[in-house]
Amino acid sequence: MNILVVLRMVPDVVEELEIAPDGKSLNLEFARMVLSESDDHALEQALLIKERDGGTVTALALEAPEVDEVLFAALAKGADRALKITGPKEGVTTREAAHIIAGVISSEPGLKGADLVLTGTQAINDLDGLMAPLLAQELGLPFLGIVTGLVPNFSARVALATKEYPRGVRGEFEVALPATFGIQAAEKPPRYVPVAKVRAVMKSRKIDCVSLTETVEPGFSLLQVLEMTKPQPSGHAEILEGSADQTAGALCTILAERGLL
């Protein structure tokens, strides 16, 4: 069972995000990058499957600030191989990233034959599309997203996948392998890896580097960002005045306007 996990670094929202001088993009100079949360779950799910059923786990990521730490941590957690794609410009869109990554997967021996391609179901900067279905389309694989449980049956070449629906309902799907999955949550929370172990791996293991095979011409994302802004925080709640009935009614209206009722 060969499992490929696609990891992406996204701007860390714990830090204050700043808009670049062009008014249309993020100022990446001050942004710190962090592993996309559901990608962390995708890695954990891959490791759980490997522990249960055997196989190899390869972690794959585009070059980005702080990606080395993430890839070494993946190795320390139990991934067999970590691969970094060098060469992309800073701040690629999801669609551009998917195209580059799919290009490398298709051309790199050892990646093309993956039985499972796992990545997070959605990232906070997926403006032009979601990674999992984009990869699925480029690689010619079936796709299922919002997956919270994954049990592959290698010999039968199928996997049982659990998908989340509204209100706690779950659906159980049978998916023919090889396939791509967008992982929402691993069956267990992502494991902790002691810092000493990561430091040891940094000394004893290597991250393989491969340069990108597909270039992405400008306009590839087919979108034009006209403007980016930060919503101004008020720092304090808007207080609704009146009796319990009055304030309840006013609140109701606000909630209805937001589609929450």
Partner 1 sequence: MAAEFWVIVEHWKGRVSQITYEALALGREVADQLGASLHAVLLGHNAHELASTLGKADCVIYANHPLFSEVVAETYAEALVQLLKERKTRSIIFPLTNVSLGAATLLGARLRLPVVNFCTDIQFAEGKIQAHCILYGGKIESRVAAEGEPTIFGLWPGARPADKGFSERRPPVEEFAVSLSEPAIHLKKYMEPAAGDVDITQQEVLVAVGRGIQSQENLHLAENLAKQFHGAVCASRPVIDQGWLPLSRQVGKSGATVKPKLYLALGISGAPEHTEGMKAAALIVAVNTDSGAPIFNIAHYGIVGDVLKVLPALTKAIESRKGVGSHA
Partner 2 sequence: MGGATLTGGNPSSPEVTLDNLLQSPQGRDLLTCIQCGLCAGTCPYGDVMAYPPRRIIAMLRAGMLEGVFKSESLLACVACYSCMAKCPRNIQLTEVLLPLVKEQVFLNLAELPAELHKALDNTLRYGNPMAESPRKRAAWIKTLDFPIRVLAEDPRPVDVLWFVECQNSYHPRGQDVSRATAKLFHALGIDFAILGNEEKCAGECARLLGEKGLFDTLTDYNMAVFSKYHFNRIVTSGTHAYDAFTHRYPAAGFRYQVEHTTPFFAAYLEQLKPRLNRTLHYAVTYHDSCCLGRHNGFYEQPRLLLQAIPGVKLLEMPHNRISAICCGGGGGGMWLDTYYKAKGYERLSERRVKEAVTTGADVIAVSCPYEISRFEDALKVLGHEKKMIVRDVTELLSEAMEV
Region of 113-121, 145-153, 191-199, 226-234 interacting with partner 2 (CB under 8 A): 191-199
Q: ∠ CA(133), CA(135), CA(139), 5° rounding?
A: 120
Least Å distance between CB 2 and partner 2?
26
Binder to partner 2 among 14, 169, 244, 260 (CB under 8 A)? Answer: 14
95-122 in b/e burial notation, b at 16+ Cβ within 10 A? bbbbbbbbbbbeebeebeebbbbbbbbb
Does 205 engage in binding with partner 2 (CB under 8 A)? no
How many angstroms from the chain centroid is the CA of residue 92? 14
Q: Return the structure tokens found at 51.
A: 């522990």
Least Å distance between CB 35 and partner 1?
15
Q: Which residues pair with 116 in a beta bridge?
A: 3, 179
Contacts with partner 1 by CB under 8 A: the residue count is 78
Residue 199's binding partner among partner 1, partner 2, none (Cβ under 5 to 8 angstroms by kind) is: partner 2
Prior bond of 218 cis (ω within 30°): no
Binder to partner 2 among 107, 191, 247, 255 (CB under 8 A)? Answer: 191
Tokens 């298709």 map to which residue?
106
Element (H, E) at 96: helix 94-107
Region of 85-93, 194-202, 207-215, 237-245 interacting with partner 2 (CB under 8 A): 194-202
Does 154 engage in binding with partner 1 (CB under 8 A)? no
Binder to partner 2 among 140, 189, 242, 249 (CB under 8 A)? Answer: 189
Does 157 engage in binding with partner 2 (CB under 8 A)? no
Give the burial class of 78: count Cβ atoms within 10 A of its Cβ; 0-12 exposed, 13-18 middle, 19 or more buried.
Answer: middle
Could you give the CA distance from residue 179 to residue 181 in angstroms, rounded to a whole number? 7
Binder to partner 1 among 75, 175, 201, 212 (CB under 8 A)? Answer: 175
Residue 156's binding partner among partner 1, partner 2, none (Cβ under 5 to 8 angstroms by kind) is: none
Nearer to partner 2, 23 or 189 (CB): 189
Relative to beta strand 2-7, strand 56-62 is parallel
Contacts with partner 2 by CB under 8 A: the residue count is 14
Nearer to partner 2, 157 or 188 (CB): 188
Q: Return the structure tokens found at 66.
A: 């702080």
Could you give the CA distance from residue 150 to residue 45 in angstroms, rounded to a whole number? 8
Binders of partner 1 among 61-120, rule CB under 8 A? 95
Binder to partner 2 among 29, 166, 167, 192 (CB under 8 A)? Answer: 192
Least Å distance between CB 227 and partner 1?
4
Element (H, E) at 69: helix 67-77
**Interacting residues toward partner 2 by CB under 8 A:** 14-16, 34, 188-189, 191-192, 194-199
